[in-house]
Amino acid sequence: MKKILAIRGDDAQVMLGLLRQVATNEGACPLHELHRETLQAMAEHLFHSDFQPDAPAVPFSEAKNHVEDPDLQRDLMNMAGVFPYLEEDHLQDRIDAVGRLGEAMGFDKKYVKRLHQLSHEAVTGLALCLYRPLSLEVGTPLLKGTYVLAESALHLDGDKKLLARYEGYRDLASDTFGRALIDYYDDNHFPLPGTPGAFFSNSLKIHDIHHVLAGYPTSPLGETCVVAFDNGMMDLDMGQALIGYVAQFQIGIQWDKGLKTWRNQFDPEAVIRAFERGGDSTVNYLKFDFDFTDHLKRPLADVRRDFGIDPEGALVAGPADKWCGQVGVVGERQSPDMIERKKNLLERLLSGKNTTDGN
């Protein structure tokens, strides 16, 4: 569990005050409604407290007096780093405010440099910083992706035994983890893992399991919630990845080249609750050698109970909720909030690598 989830009382109010100072650039900007909602969600789900928008401002100069622990500083900076990307106005000013907060605590200056780079879609430095935590989140070393992509292009990535095992989950009871996983693939029109040429199904099968176990669809909001949930659970720091996905799905800054960019998809209640749910879980399954095989044959509710995963807060809460989310099937989504742009080489290579016909 991240240390910020244990902060209560007066210390929590100081944290919220510092975060409000970032949201308003130390009073130079008005408190945007979405910023207010985010602070309220953080008050409820991080600190079990109330947000007091009219409380006296907490100057950055006092931050070091209250936040001395390096891990807690990191957690605070990760939450602060979300605010610049909630709206395009004053983006750079709010990043600078994050920088001033970090400087007051003696935090690593490279952090804010990476936030500025992200704002210009220069994500290499950030990606390198997050290599190991993201590798654990997807369940495989990221450098292996190029090799898997080449195999997928030649349809050499099939695995008959793996495909047969997943097909066997269709025969399980409707309340089982494995059957829910099949519904996840069917709702999204994804081929099953083991299918030749299905790049994403074959390379992200552990990530897909994370979706089902935590209860989040493949919508932009669902993807952000999975990252928030796993960040709350993970021993390593994946907080800047959460910032990246907020940026991609709220103001259209592309962080993940494998996903479309959107606007206006951030829901602070759902995302911050996801972080809390991940932090409260009792089994850290973000390990390369974690084996889900036996769990997939059990009722999903029982697995969640044994893993300490609170079902309240899941966005897919019953059979009426589709695993593709309210924005529809991945390859068929149409929305004025989806940003259309010319595909780069990687996006062209990935295009069509997860369709039910294997093309």
pLDDT tens digits along 237-292: 999 999 999 999 999 999 998 899 999 999 999 999 999 999 999 999 999 999 99
Residues 6+ apart with CB under 8 A from 264: 250, 337
pLDDT score of 309 more than 80: yes
CA distance 186 to 27: 49
Q: How confident is the model at residue 345 (pLDDT cuts 50, 70, 90)?
A: low
User: Which residues, other chains included, contact 11 with Cβ-Cβ below 8 Å and sequence gap of 6+?
Assistant: 66
What ranges do the domains of the chain cover?
A: 3-120, 131-350
- Helix-then-strand count for the chain, H and E: 18, 2
Q: pLDDT tens digit string along 197-248?
A: 999 999 999 999 999 999 999 999 999 999 999 999 999 999 999 999 999 9
pLDDT exceeds 70 at position 355: no
| Per-residue confidence (pLDDT) for residue 359, from 0 to 100 | 37
Residue 358 pLDDT class (50, 70, 90 cuts): very low
Which of 11-25, 127-141, 151-165, 295-309 has the least mean pLDDT? 151-165
pLDDT in tens, 66-99: 999 999 999 999 999 999 999 999 999 999 999 9
Phi, psi for 177 (deg, rounded to 5):
-60, -45
pTM of whole model > 0.85?
yes
The token duo for 261 is: 């960019």
Q: Is 109 helix (H, G, I), strand (E, B) or coil?
A: coil
Three-state secondary structure string covering 178-247: HHHHHHHHHHCCCCCCCCCCCHHHHHCHHHHHHHHHHCCCCCHHHHHHHHHHHHHHCCCCCHHHHHHHHH
Residue 357 has pLDDT above 80, yes or no: no
- The set of residues, in sequence order, having a beta carbon less than 8 Å from that of 80 and lying 6+ positions away, is 18, 19, 22, 97, 98, 101
